[in-house]
Amino acid sequence: MQLNERIPNNVDLSGNKRLLRALEHWQPAYLDWWRDMGPQGFQDQHQVYLRTAVSVDAAGWAHFDYVKLPDYRWGIFLAEPTPDRRIGFGDFKGQAVWQEVPGEFRNPLRRLIVLQGDTEPASVEQQRMLGAHCPSLYDLRNLFQVNVEEGRHLWAMVYLLHSYFGRDGREEAEALLERRSGNSDSPRMLEAFNEPIDTWLDFFAFTMFTDRDGKSQLLSLSESSLDPLSRTTRFMLTEEAHHMFVGETGISRILERTCQLMKEAGFSEDVRKLGGIEIALVQKFVNFWFSQSLDLHGGEVSSNAANYFANGLKGRAEEDKHDDDHVLNGNVYLLDLLDESGRVDRQEVPMRNALNEVLRDWYVGDCQAGVDRWNKRVLEAHGISDRIYLPSRKFNRGIGVYAGRHFDPWGQPLSSEEWERRKHEWLPVPADKDYLRSIQAVPVFKPGQFANYIAPPQRGINRQPLDFEYVRTEA
Ligand SMILES: [Fe+2]
Ligand SMILES: [Fe+2]
């Protein structure tokens, strides 16, 4: 079988011998990485009911079948080109988009692609041990769907590196398989992607909040003047939506079950004695992964962000929904900075320099909509007065003006001593993790059954019933 048949694609791989050779060289290293660092314990004897993209049209991108994980057909897909597409923002606004990388923007574009690419295998590495503790076959299948698609997103970025960045691109593509999440010698590039994801509550909070950072980054890259980058990221967004669905519904189902258990316990909040996850513990994981994901958007004031925008490399999310000239010369943003004593000091910043914060605003709004749905559809519907909330964007930050200072989840400043004394109220501690590990210790592999701490979903995948065998052991 030819490689170009094994790699589904709409980029005419068979007509581009140089690219084909480069990917032919990279593919075995990718498969080695997948076996080593992909889902542990499910590589050889399991068939998973997965969606595989075989083309970008509606019929082709959601093809479902059983597949062994290492045999998944990781493909290369770009969204269809927009005829006569023009640069939509920045100093080159109105000019034709680029089909090749302009020499002067080669380094920053490579940097943006490598940063995005690094997150994809990182999350697979972070999640590799979860399968053995799954709450159901439905959830196990969703975990693997997310994992194979993150693998495909890595392929997408590697395609760009190999196609447009020559030797440097090839070296970067190799390095993407060499760094390891959480490894102190060779860590992944961004902090949230070095944190362990060893409980299913971590996994759901990660796919809710950190995959959503992926969505904001992909939306801003899909505005790029580099048309192949725009088209690649536009197709990735269609897959990303499922990852956030997994996160949002995962937490929603945990809350649903928690409400049921609270009622059983006579409206007691102590659902641990019934094996549930109390709302306050869910809130801690929201606090942790939301604040980590805020950091991924970068510093509040950034000359890099300004240059990316000016040069048309990276726009705002949903650029055409912004009601301004899309050039942003002379516009200002009111930003809460801190003075020397740590007091909030609102200052006018040139808009282009505040674009990380503008993207963070979009992100926070998108997260808030999901949190509102949990509150309305689950907590309120059950008549329970507790609510999940997003912590202040000052809380638990490691990057930007609030890094190195302490705030409570409502944005009130704290001394270091107060923070040390009280942080366990707001962030997961080892005992919380131990508890979650104890309730997920025994995996649920029986079709149609769900762990005690999580409610079943409302419907199955691809209209299959809930007791469908989403993952089966090979006879
Ligand atoms: Fe991804
Ligand atoms: Fe994702």
Rounded distance from Cα 177 to ligand 2 centre (Å) = 18
Ligand 2 centre to CA of 53 (Å) is 15
Report the Cα–Cα distance between both ends of the chain, in Å, rounded. 26
Residue 336 CA to ligand 2 center (angstroms) comes to 30
DSSP H or E stretch at residue 325 = none
Question: Could you tell me the distance, in angstroms and rounded to a whole number, from the CA of residue 347 to the centre of ligand 2?
Answer: 35
List % helix, strand, coil for the chain (3-state, nearest 5): 50, 10, 40
Which bound ligand lies closest to the C-alpha atom of 157? 1
Distance (Å) from CA 53 to ligand 1 centroid: 14
| Distance between CA atoms of residues 129 and 137, nearest Å | 15
Q: For residue 127, which ligand has an atom nearest its CA?
A: 2
Cα(296) to ligand 2 centroid in Å equals 14
Distance of CA 61 to the CA centre of its chain: 20
Q: In angstroms, what is the span from residue 160 Cα to ligand 2's centroid?
A: 18
Distance 365 CA to ligand 2 centre (A): 19
Of the CA atoms within 13 Å of residue 13, those in its CB half-sphere come to: 21
From ligand 1's centre to the CA of 153, what distance in Å? 5
Q: What element of type H or E holds 47?
A: strand 46-52
**Residue 1 pLDDT:** 35
Q: How far is the CA of 218 from the centre of ligand 1 (A)?
A: 9
- Report how far Cα 34 is from the mean position of its chain's Cα atoms: 19
Give the Å distance between the CA of 212 and the centre of ligand 1: 10
CA trace torsion 438, 442, 444, 445 (10° rounding): 150
Render 231-254 in DSSP notation, one character per residue. HHHHHHHHHHHHHHHHHHHHHHHH
Between the CA of 95 and the centroid of ligand 2 the distance, in Å, is 32
Separation of CA 221 and ligand 2 centre (Å): 15
Report the chain's C-alpha Rg in angstroms.
Answer: 23
> How far away, in angstroms, is 233 Cα from ligand 2 center?
12
Q: Which ligand is nearest to the CA of 150?
A: 1
| Ligand 1 center to 48 CA (angstroms) | 20
Taking the CA of 245 as reference, the closest ligand is: 2
CA dihedral sign, ordered 215, 213, 353, 330: positive
CA–centroid distance, 312 to ligand 1, in Å, is 22
If you measure from the C-alpha of residue 261 to the centroid of ligand 2, how many angstroms do you get, rounded to a whole number? 31
Task: Give me the average pLDDT of each 10-residue run along the chain (475 residues).
Answer: 64 92 93 97 96 78 91 92 97 98 98 98 98 98 98 97 96 98 97 96 98 97 98 95 97 98 86 96 98 97 98 97 95 93 91 98 98 98 96 97 96 96 98 98 98 98 97 86
Which ligand sits nearest to residue 218's alpha carbon? 1
Q: How far is CA 454 from the centre of its chain?
A: 22
Q: Which ligand is nearest to the CA of 146?
A: 2
* pLDDT at residue 3, as a whole number: 44
Q: How far away, in angstroms, is 72 Cα from ligand 2 center?
A: 17
- In angstroms, what is the span from residue 83 Cα to ligand 1's centroid? 27
Q: Which residues surround ligand 2, an ion (CB under 5 A)?
A: 211, 214, 240, 243
pLDDT at 75: 87
Q: Which two tokens stand for residue 439?
A: 């309730």
Nearest ligand to the C-alpha atom of residue 242 = 2
219 CA → ligand 1 middle, Å: 12
Element at 64 (helix H, strand E): strand 63-68
pTM value is 0.97
Proximal ligand: closest to the CA of 156: 1
Ligand lying nearest the CA atom of residue 154 = 1
Residues 6+ apart with CB under 8 A from 167: none
User: Nearest 5°: phi and psi at 277?
Assistant: -115, 115
Q: Are 282 and 426 in contact (CB under 8 A)?
A: no
CA of 260 to the centre of ligand 1 (A): 34
Q: Which ligand is nearest to the CA of 244?
A: 2
CB proximity list for 380: less than 8 A, separation 6 or greater: none
* pLDDT score recorded for residue 57: 77
Q: Which of 214, 468, 172 is nearest to 366 (CA)?
A: 214
